[in-house]
C-alpha cells in the first residue's frame, strides 16, 4: 500500500512537471541544447566529462571553441567527407549505378558544402568552387551516361529492326551525348586536381574510374560512328581576310568525304558562331558563301566554319578555321514605337524597332528594352525587325518616362548603340489590407497584402506603425503578401492600433494605408498566468496521474506481469501515457502556431513531439542530435520499415526550420506536421489548442 502511494506521488510530480518542461524546453527540440549546433551528422557537441580528469571533447562547435585550429579541424572533417562522397559516386558511375551515384552527392552533400563554405571562410581555403563544381559536373555526367546507355539500347534495337533512318537519328544523339561526356570528364579531372592539391586528399581512384567510363563511351561511339556515317572533310579558301558587317567574308569551299569523293549537289548547312548559312554544292562538291560578322569579338583572329549535316544524312560533320581581322561598324536602331503610349501598372506594352547597317537588316541580334531605370526584357531581331512585349512594373515611376532599345555589345563586330522614345505612366490606386493576432504577451503577428490591378505587387516596402510609432518595415513577396512579428512593450494593454503604410515615390502606385485594432489583456490577467493550452495539458496530465494511481492501487504487482514494465521504475511505468500526452500537446501547439503563420516554430514543435514519442518507444537518450536519433530509429529492431522515410522528412524539415536562413514555408510545414502526427499515431486525433484569450 505504501509503495503504491509512493509511486503515485512520484508519477503525479513527473506528469505535473513535464508540461512545464514542454513549455520551456521541449518545444525547442533536442538539437538546440546549450552545447550543440547540428551540422547534419556532425554533432558539434561537447560531451560532459565523466570525472574531473576526463576532458575528452568531440566535434566542438567552431563558433564557441576558442582555441586555434578548431575551424581547421572542422574544415578537414567536411572536406574529407565530401571527397569520400565524390569517390563513392565515381565508383557507382563506373558500376552503372547512376541513381546511387547521384545520391552520394545529392542534398546532403550540398548541405555539407554550405557548412564547409562557412567554416573555410575563416581559413582562406581556395577549393570551395571545386567541391561544388565537381559535384554539379559529376551529377551531369551520371545523367549523360545513363541517357547514353538508354539511347544506345534504342539505337541497337533500331539496327536490328532494319530502321536505318531511326538508327542514324539515334546515332547523332549518341554523338552529342558522347561529346557532353567527354567535356564533363575534362571538367571533373580539373576539379579533382584542384581538390587534390591538399596533400591529405587523394582522388586518384575516383579520377581513374571517371576517365575509364569516358574512354569506354568514346570507344563505343567510335564504333557507332563508323557503322552509321561517312567521314567528311571541309576545305575553305577565303577571298579576303579583313572583314566587317559592311565588308563580308567571301569564300569558296569544297566538301568531300575522307576518301576524297565529293559531296555533290547537296544543300548544306554552315554554322559560323551563332549564325547559320546555307550553300549549294555542285557536282565537284564546291560551293560559295558570304559571312557578315555580328557578335564576333574584335580580338578574334579566326572564325570556325562547321558543316552540320541533316539528321538522317549519311555524312558526318566537319569544320575548318578561316583567318580573319575584324573591323567594327556602327549599326542604327530606328526610333522605337510604343503601344499604347499611355500606360499604368500591369498593362502590357508592345515595343517595335529595326536594326540595320547602312540599310542592310541585321538578323538574330538580341536587343534589350528598358523604361526609366527598369529593364523590361530582350527579343531578337527577325529580318532586322524587333517586336517585344512587356508588362509595366510597379517600380517604374509615374509620369513621362523614356523607353530605350539598345544593342548592348562590347568590343564586337557591331558597336553598341541605342534609340529611345517616351511614354506616359499613370498612377494606380493600390489595395492594402492588414490584420493582426496576438502571438504572446510581448508580440503580435501582422499579416497583409498589397495589390494593384487585381494582382499582388512584389518587392514593395510597407511600414508598420503601432500607436503611431514605426516599429517595422517589411517587404512584400511574389504574391504581394507580407508578414512580421511586431514586438510590444510589456506595459502595452487594451486596444492597440496597427497601421500599415505604403508610400514609395519611386513607383507608379499611389500612397495608401490600412489599419487594424487588436485588444490585449491587462498585465495582471495575462502575463502572470500560463497560456490556456498549458493549463489544458496540466489538467490532462493530472487526470492521467489520478487514473494511474487508482489503477496501481487496485492492481498492485499484477501490472508488472501484464505489461512487462518494472513497477519499481515510475518513469518507465509513466512513459507511454506521458509521452503520448506531451506529444499531443506539442502537436496541438504546432497546429496553432501554423495557423498564425509561424511555420518554423510549428515544425520545431512537431519534431519535438516526434522525439518525445519515439524516445519512449526506443528507450533513446534525449542528448542525440537529430540525425543521430534518426539513424538509431531506422536501425532499431522495433521500428517499422515504413517509418524511416517519414522520420527522414520530419528530420530534414526540422533542420531547415532551425538552421536554414530561409526556413520552411507554411505549405512545407503543413506537410511536415502531417508526417509528425503519423509517427505519433495521432493523424486524426490532434486538434488545435486555442490560444490564450
Query: Which pLDDT belongs to residue 577?
Result: 54
Eight-state DSSP code of residue 51: S
Q: Cα separation of 38 and 652, whole Å?
A: 12
Eight-state DSSP code of residue 273: T
pLDDT digit string, tens, across residues 579-629: 667 778 788 888 888 988 889 988 988 888 888 888 776 665 555 777 778
Q: What average pLDDT does range 560-574 have in this prediction? A: 38
Residue with cell 494593384: 452
What element of type H or E holds 646? helix 643-659
Give yes or no for a contact between 346 and 455, defined as CB atoms under 8 angstroms apart. Answer: yes
- A 10 A CB-CB count for 292 gives 22
Q: Kindly give the residue spans of alpha helices, DSSP state H, lying in 25-69.
A: none
Q: CATH number of the domain at 248-326, please?
A: 2.60.40
Please tell me whether residue 411 adopts helix, strand or coil conformation: coil
Residue with cell 582555441: 67
Q: What average pLDDT does range 635-654 have in this prediction? A: 80
Q: Is 267 left (phi over 0), alpha (psi -120 to 50) or beta?
A: beta
pLDDT digit string, tens, across residues 245-268: 999 999 999 999 999 999 999 999
> Sign of torsion, CA 330 335 338 341?
positive
Question: What dihedral do alpha carbons 292, 295, 301, 303 form, nearest 10°?
Answer: -60
Give yes or no for a contact between 521 and 493, defined as CB atoms under 8 angstroms apart. Answer: yes
Q: Cα separation of 632 and 619, whole Å?
A: 11
Q: Cα separation of 90 and 142, whole Å?
A: 9
- Nearest Cα neighbor of 275 from 293, 289, 288, 287 is 293
The pTM of the full predicted model, rounded to 2 decimals, is 0.58
CATH of range 336-424; options 2.60.40.1930, 3.50.50.60, 1.10.10.10, 3.40.50.720:
2.60.40.1930
Q: Please give the grid coordinates belonging to residue 244.
A: 566587317
CATH 2.60.40.10 holds for 431-526:
yes
pLDDT digit string, tens, across residues 359-387: 999 999 999 999 988 899 998 999 999 99
Q: Cα separation of 122 and 113, whole Å?
A: 15
Q: Please give the grid coordinates belonging to residue 37.
A: 549546433
Beta-ladder partners of 265: none
Query: Which pLDDT belongs to residue 489?
Result: 74
Eight-state DSSP code of residue 503: -
Give yes or no for a contact between 355 and 332, defined as CB atoms under 8 angstroms apart. Answer: yes
Q: Cα separation of 245 and 402, whole Å?
A: 30
Q: What average pLDDT does range 445-468 have in this prediction? A: 92
Amino acid at each position: 500500500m505504501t509503495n503504491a502511494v509512493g509511486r503515485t506521488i512520484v508519477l503525479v510530480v513527473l506528469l505535473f512537471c513535464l508540461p512545464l518542461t514542454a513549455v520551456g524546453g521541449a518545444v525547442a527540440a533536442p538539437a538546440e541544447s546549450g552545447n550543440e549546433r547540428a551540422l547534419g551528422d556532425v554533432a558539434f557537441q561537447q560531451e560532459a566529462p565523466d570525472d574531473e580528469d576526463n576532458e575528452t571533447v568531440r566535434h566542438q562547435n567552431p563558433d564557441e571553441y576558442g582555441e586555434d585550429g578548431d575551424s581547421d579541424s572542422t574544415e578537414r572533417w567536411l572536406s574529407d567527407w565530401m571527397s569520400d562522397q565524390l569517390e563513392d559516386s565515381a565508383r557507382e558511375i563506373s558500376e552503372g549505378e547512376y541513381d546511387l551515384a547521384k545520391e552520394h552527392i545529392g542534398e546532403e552533400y550540398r548541405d555539407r558544402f554550405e557548412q564547409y563554405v562557412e567554416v573555410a571562410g575563416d581559413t582562406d581555403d581556395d577549393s570551395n568552387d571545386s567541391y561544388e563544381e565537381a559535384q554539379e559536373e559529376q551529377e551531369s555526367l551520371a545523367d549523360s551516361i545513363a541517357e547514353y546507355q538508354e539511347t544506345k539500347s534504342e539505337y541497337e534495337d533500331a539496327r536490328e529492326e532494319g530502321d536505318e533512318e531511326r538508327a542514324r537519328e539515334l546515332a547523332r544523339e549518341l554523338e552529342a551525348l558522347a561529346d557532353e561526356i567527354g567535356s564533363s570528364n575534362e571538367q571533373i579531372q580539373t576539379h579533382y586536381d584542384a581538390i587534390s592539391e591538399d596533400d591529405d586528399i587523394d582522388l586518384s581512384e575516383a579520377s581513374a574510374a571517371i576517365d575509364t567510363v569516358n574512354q569506354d563511351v568514346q570507344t563505343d561511339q567510335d564504333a557507332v560512328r563508323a557503322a552509321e556515317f561517312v567521314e567528311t572533310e571541309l576545305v575553305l579558301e577565303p577571298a579576303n581576310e579583313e572583314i566587317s558587317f559592311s565588308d563580308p567574308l567571301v569564300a569558296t569551299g569544297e566538301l568531300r568525304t575522307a576518301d576524297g569523293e565529293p559531296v555533290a549537289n547537296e544543300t548544306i548547312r554552315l554554322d559560323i558562331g551563332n549564325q547559320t548559312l546555307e550553300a549549294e554544292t555542285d557536282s565537284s562538291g564546291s560551293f560559295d558563301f558570304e559571312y557578315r560578322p555580328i557578335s564576333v569579338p574584335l580580338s578574334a583572329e579566326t572564325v570556325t566554319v562547321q558543316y552540320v549535316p541533316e539528321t538522317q544524312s549519311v555524312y558526318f560533320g566537319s569544320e575548318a578555321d578561316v583567318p580573319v581581322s575584324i573591323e567594327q561598324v556602327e549599326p542604327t536602331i530606328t526610333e522605337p514605337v510604343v503601344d499604347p503610349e499611355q500606360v499604368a501598372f500591369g498593362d502590357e506594352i508592345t515595343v517595335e524597332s529595326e536594326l540595320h547597317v547602312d540599310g542592310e537588316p541585321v538578323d538574330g541580334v538580341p536587343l534589350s528594352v528598358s523604361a526609366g531605370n527598369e529593364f523590361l526584357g530582350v527579343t531578337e531581331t527577325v529580318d532586322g525587325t524587333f517586336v517585344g512585349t512587356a508588362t509595366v512594373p510597379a517600380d517604374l515611376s509615374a509620369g513621362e518616362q523614356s523607353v530605350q532599345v539598345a544593342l548592348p555589345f562590347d568590343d564586337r563586330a557591331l558597336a553598341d548603340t541605342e534609340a529611345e522614345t517616351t511614354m506616359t505612366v499613370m498612377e494606380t490606386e493600390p489595395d492594402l489590407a492588414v490584420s493582426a493576432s496576438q502571438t504572446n504577451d510581448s508580440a503580435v503577428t501582422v499579416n497583409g497584402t498589397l495589390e494593384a490591378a487585381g494582382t499582388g505587387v512584389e518587392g514593395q516596402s510597407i511600414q508598420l506603425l503601432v500607436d503611431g510609432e514605426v516599429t517595422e518595415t517589411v517587404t512584400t513577396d511574389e504574391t504581394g503578401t507580407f508578414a512580421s512579428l511586431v514586438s510590444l512593450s510589456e506595459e502595452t494593454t487594451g486596444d492597440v492600433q496597427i497601421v500599415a503604410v505604403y508610400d514609395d515615390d519611386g513607383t507608379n502606385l499611389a500612397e495608401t494605408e490600412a489599419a487594424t485594432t487588436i485588444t490585449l489583456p491587462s498585465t495582471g490577467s495575462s502575463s502572470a498566468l500560463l497560456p490556456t493550452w498549458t493549463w489544458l495539458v496540466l489538467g490532462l496530465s493530472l487526470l492521467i496521474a489520478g487514473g494511474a494511481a487508482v489503477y496501481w492501487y487496485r492492481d498492485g504487482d499484477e501490472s508488472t506481469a501484464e505489461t512487462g514494465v518494472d513497477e519499481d521504475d515510475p518513469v518507465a511505468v509513466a512513459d507511454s501515457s506521458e509521452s503520448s500526452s506531451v506529444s499531443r500537446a506539442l502537436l496541438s501547439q504546432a497546429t496553432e502556431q501554423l495557423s498564425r503563420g509561424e511555420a518554423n516554430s510549428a515544425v520545431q514543435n512537431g519534431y519535438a513531439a516526434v522525439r518525445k514519442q519515439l524516445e519512449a518507444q526506443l528507450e533513446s537518450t534525449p542528448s542525440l542530435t537529430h540525425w543521430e536519433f534518426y539513424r538509431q530509429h531506422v536501425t532499431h529492431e522495433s521500428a517499422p520499415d515504413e517509418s524511416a522515410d517519414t522520420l527522414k522528412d520530419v528530420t530534414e524539415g526540422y533542420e531547415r526550420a532551425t538552421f536554414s536562413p530561409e526556413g520552411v514555408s507554411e505549405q512545407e510545414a503543413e506537410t511536415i506536421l502531417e508526417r509528425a502526427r503519423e509517427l505519433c499515431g495521432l493523424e486524426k486525433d490532434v486538434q488545435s489548442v486555442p490560444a490564450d484569450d
